[in-house]
Amino acid sequence: EAGVAQSPRYKIIEKRQSVAFWCNPISGHATLYWYQQILGQGPKLLIQFQNNGVVDDSQLPKDRFSAERLKGVDSTLKIQPAKLEDSAVYLCASRMKRKSSYNEQFFGPGTRLTVL
């Protein structure tokens, strides 16, 4: 089974520039998550999709961050304009919708963003 795919793996930009990340979840996984992980911290949920609808975006800085999952499959996360404090690893995860609440989240390899 193919895993969660993310691209690019690494990105270096200057502050005030824009950047976009792409995620393709595991086939059939209805729930998709974007996390921000700053060095030395645990992943922080930015946005959660159920199919193409947003379930939770309470921690997404909406003045500069946006995300979409138009067809309920792959997703993009955009930052415009970037700030120095956005330097982090952006992780995408997906999860199958099942009755059991114990079904596992699967993570992609992440995109490491450096803002100079």
Partner 1 sequence: RKEVEQDPGPFNVPEGATVAFNCTYSNSASQSFFWYRQDCRKEPKLLMSVYSSGNEDGRFTAQLNRASQYISLLIRDSKLSDSATYLCVVKTSYDKVIFGPGTSLSVIP
Asked if residues 39 and 91 have their Cβ atoms less than 8 Å apart, the reply is no
How many Å separate Cα 46 from the centre of its chain? 7
Site string for partner 1, 2-31 (x = CB under 8 A): -----------------------------x
Among 27, 51, 56, 80, binds partner 1 (CB under 8 A): 56
Q: Which residues pair with 112 in a beta bridge?
A: 10, 89
Residue with tokens 């193919």: 2
Binding site residues, partner 1, CB under 8 A = 31, 33, 35, 41-45, 48, 50, 55-56, 91, 93, 95, 97, 101-102, 104-105, 107-110
